[in-house]
Structure formats: C-alpha cells, structure tokens
Chains A and B, each alone.
Chain A
Amino acid sequence: MRADGKPEGLRQSMSWLHTWSGLLLGWLLYAVFFTGTLSYFVDEINDWMRPELHTSVPQADTAEKTMAGMQKLAPDASSWTISLPNERKTAVDVSWRPQGAPQGREGIQRAHLDAATGEVIPVRETRGGSFLYRFHFELYAMPRVWGRWIVGIATLVMFIAIISGVITHKKIFTDFFTFRPRKGQRSWLDAHNATAVLALPFHIVITFSGLLLFMTMLMPWGAQAVYDGDMQRYFADRRGVQAPPAGQQFGAREGRGEGGTRPAREPQAMAPIGPMLHIAQTHWQGGTVGSITVQNPNTARATVELRAQGADSLTANRGGGQRLMLDGVTGAMKDAPEARPPSTVVAVMNSMISVHLGRFASPAVRWLLFLSGLVGTCMAATGMVLWVVKRQPDRRKLGYTPKGHRLVEVLNVAAMGGLSVAVAGYFWLNRLLPVGLEARANAEINGFFMIWLACLVHAAVRPHAKAWLEQMALATVAFALLPLLNVWTGGAGLWQTLAHSQWSVAGFDLMMLALGGVHAAVVYKLWQRMKAAQPASKNVPRSGVAVQKAVLQAPENHS
C-alpha cells in the first residue's frame, strides 16, 4: 500500500511480491542452486572423493580387461552391468545380480574396477557428490518426500520470483548491457539485473524443468484421472516402453530371453567383447560404447546390450540413446529393441528435463550449464545482499539496526558464505577422516552440517562485514588448497591427471581452483572496503554497537 493512499500499480505490487518471495525462500534456493550447479559435475566429484580410483587409467583394452574381471568376480550372476570410463569417470563401475538375488535395488552388488587391469579397487565409504546432488532436491535428515515437497514449493516460489522480477524490471532492454560499478545500491541492482536477464532463458528452463521433475508429486491428478490411478502405466508411457503386466515388478525382466528354445543355464563360453565394440562403432558411425549390459552371462542364452555414450539429442527418452543388441555366444548383431520416437509433448518435456539433468554427451554444453548455474547462484546472492543494502538508509535514519534486518544479515552470511565453507569442508573431511572409520559416509555428511552450523553461529556473533570477510577468506583457502590436499592424501595430482587425460579428477581440481578464485575476488573487494572504512570507525566511540554500525555502513559510505 502506498503512503499517499493511492492504489498500487502492477509494477509496485510485483516488486513487493518479488522482494518477499525472493527473500523468504532465497536462502534455501541459494543452497539448491549452489549444490545443484555442483551436481553438473557429480561424476567428477564422485571420482575425486574416491582417491583409490585415481590410479586407474583407461586403456584401449579396458573393455576386454573388464570382461575378464567380471568372469572372476561374478561368473554365475544373472546379469552384469558395466559402465566404461569416459572423460567424466576414470574407473569402471560394475554391478551384477547374483543368481536368486532379491528383486529391485537391494539384489544388486557393485564394485569399481581398475580400467587397466580389471581388478577390483576397494574404495572408502562415502556418499561423494551424490550427497550434494540429492541434497539439492530432497534436502537431508527428513523423509525424502518432505524434502521434495519443500524444494518443490521453493521452486514454485522461484518461478514466481522470476516472473514478478521481469515485470518489476523497468528497463529490461535499455539496461541490457548496463553495469555501473562502485555506486552502492545501484551496482548491486545492476549486478542482480545482469545476472538475471542475461541468463534468463537458463533460469526459466531450469526452474520450470525443476517443477516438471516434481510434476507427478505436486500435481498428480491429471495423470491419475487419465490412467485410472495406474501410475506405472503412465510412467511407462512417458518413457516410451511397454508397461509391465500388472503384478510384475520392475527389474523382473531377466527371465525374458529371446531364444526360448535353448535351456536356461546351460554353460557356454562368451564371444570376445572387442569385435562387438567394433560392430557398434561402425554401426553408430564413430559413436563410442558407454555401457555394456550382459544378460545371462556364460550361458547359451547370453545377450549383450551396448549403449552409446551420452546422446546427441535432448528430446530422446531417458536412456534413449543409441543401443545395440548382440548374441553373447556368437557375437552377432540381433534385432535392435524397438524404440518408439517420443510424441511431441514428451519430446518437449524431455528436452527441458534433459537440460536440467545434463543428459547429453557434449562437455562444452555441460560447462555452459555449469557456468549458467554459477550466474544463477550469483543472481540469488546479489538479490539477497540487495535487500540488506537497500535498507541501510532507513536504518541510518532510525539510528539502530532493527532485529529483522540483523536476522537477514546473519542468515545471508550463513546461507552463502557458510555454505561455501561447508562444501569445501565436506571435501576436506572426505580426505581427513580415517578410511576405516565406522559409518564414515555419515560422518562426512554430519561434518558438513556441523561446519555449516558453526558458520551460522560465527555470523551471529561477528559484525556483519567482518563475518562476510572471514567466511569468504576461509572458503577461499579451503577451496584453493584442495588440489594440494588431493596429492597429500593419496589422490593423483594435477600434473599426473592432466598427463594421463583423467579429466574427471583434473576437472575437479581445476573447478576448485576456479571456485577459490571467485571467492578470492570477493575477499579482495571486501578487504578493500574494510580498509577504506578504518578511518571512519576510529572517529566513533568504541562501544560495540557503534563500531558495528560504522562497519555496516562502510560499504555505502565509500562506494
């Protein structure tokens, strides 16, 4: 409501909506954005956090060595799944289902194999990057569905904030390339506008696709009505596969063999994998094999399914990249499983979701999305800082800091600076906790939250500007030293990983140096302001409140 009692215009009311929706869920959205952005490199983080794997260097004959390794590891399994190394993964991930194992996930056994020898590499217990990935859409320490609802609602609010923000922005085209530095509030608004507008397509797609990923949870009614409550059939339809007959569980497909005439478990030697890979490569015109699935290995009914690494299309269904079926005994090609092309609606949905999940081959596009994610993180950050900066004149007029303002300040530092420290700390704990520790993966995660909590306490007891400076400085050091910690605690150093083209590990180290650089830039700015503010703070009486106030106002006085 305006002070003069006139009705508000659309822009004012949208501005109100944008400010408060952005602020209330901003801290959560910042965490979602930051951990989600890191999740574009979840495979790389997983590799780095298992330094035992760093000795594994992919070779030309990795597939042959892996098959030999599987023969030793699980010759009698009912199926093998082998995920070959690529530029995002330096070892071989294998899983198998022993004969008579229970259905579903619990029946599956997993291991990591050395890409050069096919031997099992024992790894430390860690959730790795998967923790950050899971956290970004279902949080932690609460039932998954609650976490998803909370993040889902926050995503909805984010969408509202984006739309209301666009309406609020008065000069979206005039200010398109405009950034005015060293002008206090104006600079923060420009930075917020630039990071929002220039990456607007990314923000809209990532938020909207986030909602699409939660679609059946947030709004299940449409699908329930059309499919009579049979959601299995709905999901199968969307993925373009035949729905399993009622009563049959997912994962119960092993028994389905095409050559029904041959007895089930008659032992039979497998054809060598090399020629099969060659067939696939010629068939796909140079595409490389990313994963191998073997049904009924070492039997007469053995089949080998090869899948191409990544996809060149965003519209394809999940796992809808190129694939090839071969007879495991003869090594000859079989009829490819029919893949229905997705309908237009499904294709549109897939293209949104594929961008969100980074489900494609090209590393260049992954980097673009990662960097866009960083821009989005900066958008959230500048927005929340802007809330504080904008209210500094009011606060000066009042002569004291209202409790609400102080609360926002503390939460800003803890949510942004604190999260950086906690994420870096999580990586440090991964290397510093003893390998044989009981419940080690949980200890890493608990450590992450304890560091974050400590940052909240720190932000509450320190003056605002000092709290920012100290936490950002700590984050800078913690990120920048990770490549050294990596070498020191048994990982492969940058010089080795770059020389051996182990891009996953090298990429993580480089990404941490880059994050260290970003934080260092913020520290430098903060430190400059702090230095400029020194003379001002000497003139006021040294009561705690007054000093704190002077520091608070410093950024504006000297900008």
Chain B
Amino acid sequence: MNVWIAWLLAVPAFAALSQAMERHGAQDHGSLPPARVLWIWRGAGVALLLGALAVCLHHWGTSVAVAAWIGVLTFAALAVALVLTYAEHRLRGLAWASLVLAIVGMVTR
C-alpha cells in the first residue's frame, strides 16, 4: 500500500520535472514557458520526490525506506517515460490523477 502511495507521488514528481525539460516541456507554440515557471515545475517535482521519501520513511526503517524509495523512483520514471512515448498529451491528466489518488490514499489510511 505504502509503496503504491510513494509511487503515486513519484509519478507526478517526474512528470513535473519532465515539463521543465526542453524536449518535453514545449507548449503548443513550440517554446518553453518562462524560466520562472520552469523553476516552479522543478521545485514541485523535487518536493513530491521528497514527499515520496517521507512516505517510505514513515513506514519503514531508514535503510529499508531509502532502498524502497529508490526502487519506486525507477518505476515511476519508467512509467513517465512510457507515457511520454505513447500518450504525451495524457501526461498532465494522468499526473494530476495520480497525485489525487496518492492524497486520497494518505488520508484514508
């Protein structure tokens, strides 16, 4: 369960980080948003990654938590990469949905 919550947080985290990248963040007219916006995306991404770490630390001892967190990061990044490959236009929707599910998961347990 916790591993899923951590994963659901890490997916929007990587989605946000990808939106601050030249290759994935370009808008409809083909240019990146202003630097200030990019820093917001990066900040949100890092914060969510740390949130996922916090979920792991809450559930496990430090050493197991860090190992689990790193594993979760791998599969969240893999999921984001696959969405960017096959359904790029869905990324934002899926990322928000994932974030909502993570919050629901945290509140209900």
Contacts and interface: CB of A to CB of B under 8 A. Distances in A.
A202 interface: yes
Contacts of B78: 194, 198, 375
Contacts, number: 86
Nearest to A354: B63
B62 to A, nearest CB: 8
- On chain B, which size bracket covers the interface? 20 to 34
B67 A178 contact: no
Contacts of A174: 21-23
B60 interface: yes
A351 interface: yes
Contact of B64 (A179, A362, A375): A362
A61 interface: no
B71 A202 contact: yes
A314 B18 contact: no
B97 interface: no
A312 B64 contact: yes
A164 B73 CA distance: 23
> Which secondary structure characterizes the binding site on chain B?
helix
B81 interface: yes
Given A178-B81, A198-B78, A315 B63 contact: yes
B14 A177 contact: yes
A198 B85 CA distance: 15
Centre residue among A315, A364, A372 by max chain B CB count within 10 A:
A364
Contacts of A265: none
A199 B22 CA distance: 23
A405 interface: no
B3 A364 contact: yes
A202 B67 CA distance: 9
A303 B29 CA distance: 76
A173 B20 CA distance: 12
A177 B67 contact: no
Interface in A358-378: 360, 362, 364-365, 367-369, 371-372, 375
Interface in A287-345: 312-315
A315 B63 CA distance: 7
Q: Which 4 A-B pairs have the closest CB atoms?
A: A368-B71, A314-B63, A364-B3, A177-B81
